[in-house]
Amino acid sequence: MILAGLELARRLEAAEVFTGMACAEAQPGAAMLEVAGGVAIFAGAGSPLTRAVGLGMRGAVSAADCDRMEEFFAAHGCPSSVEICPLADPSVVEQLSARGYRLTEFNNVLVRPLAGLPVQPAAADVRLAGPDEGPLWAATAARGFLEKDTFGEEELEVGRTIFRIRRARCYLARAGGQAAAVAALVIHGGLATLFADSTAINFRGRGLQGALIRQRLSVAGEEGCDLATAATLPGSPSQRNYERCGFQVVYTRVVLMR
């Protein structure tokens, strides 16, 4: 059992900031603004990577902080979207509520300790994607996230960006000789962040996500990580797969948008 507290939340949110900044660094034309203990990221209008994270984790958030964040997003032609940890300073919710932000999404943050706990090896055909397999990885990710088989260039860009992250390890799972599922791993400060899990519709229910989770946990354990984390939609199949692999929900982020 892991007890959620401010120290743990600060570590998890710092990892989210690190991964978000790494995504921005890998995206041509992206921009970042450090603000209120977190970061605002622009990675394209409409991109799920465009957001503010980590605000209020190191102290109060002021009206001037929010002004700077909103000016940053407005300068890039997109609405302000902010992911808030429930253990952040209460001032961040007060500031955003006063500005008319509305709740748009919940995301459960899960963790699993790694020290001394065995991790079962992946049972499926899972391997690290090669440096020339970025297009295949991005297309497989898009098939799962968008639930279709044909995409425009903009729809592939999120997967391409993740694949370009300097410290990311991107994994492929195959079924029937085809690329069927993908996932990514970033390790920072002894914390393994598991993200970008995506399985094509016609390959779901075969245990591929579980195999990708176990593969990444195995790598994280071998590299001395003491903790792993992931975020999922509440009650989703992804949450259940992570819980089957020993993860537990520690808190729920909310996404607020103006």
CA–CA gap between residue 161 and residue 21 (Å, rounded): 12
* 208 in Cβ contact with 172 (< 8 Å): no
Neighbours of 125 (CB within 10 A): 15
Write down the pLDDT at residue 121. Answer: 64
What Cα–Cα distance (Å) separates residue 190 from each residue in 200, 208, 226, 228? 31, 26, 6, 9
What Cα–Cα distance (Å) separates residue 148 from each residue in 46, 50, 110, 142, 155? 18, 23, 28, 8, 11
CA–CA gap between residue 143 and residue 138 (Å, rounded): 9
Give pTM, 2 decimals: 0.93
Write down the pLDDT at residue 166. Answer: 86
Write down the pLDDT at residue 120. Answer: 66
Q: For residue range 113-157, what is the model confidence (pLDDT) as tens digits? A: 998 766 666 667 899 999 999 999 999 999 999 988 888 888 899
Counting Cβ atoms within 10 Å, is residue 226 exposed (0-12), middle (13-18) or buried (19+)? Answer: middle
Superfamily of domain 115-225: Gcn5-related N-acetyltransferase (GNAT) (3.40.630.30)
Q: What is the mean pLDDT of each run of 10 residues along the chain (258 residues)?
A: 89 96 92 96 92 97 98 97 98 96 97 80 82 96 91 88 94 94 96 97 94 94 94 97 96 97
Share of the chain above pLDDT 90, in %: 86
Domain boundaries, the chain: 6-109, 115-225
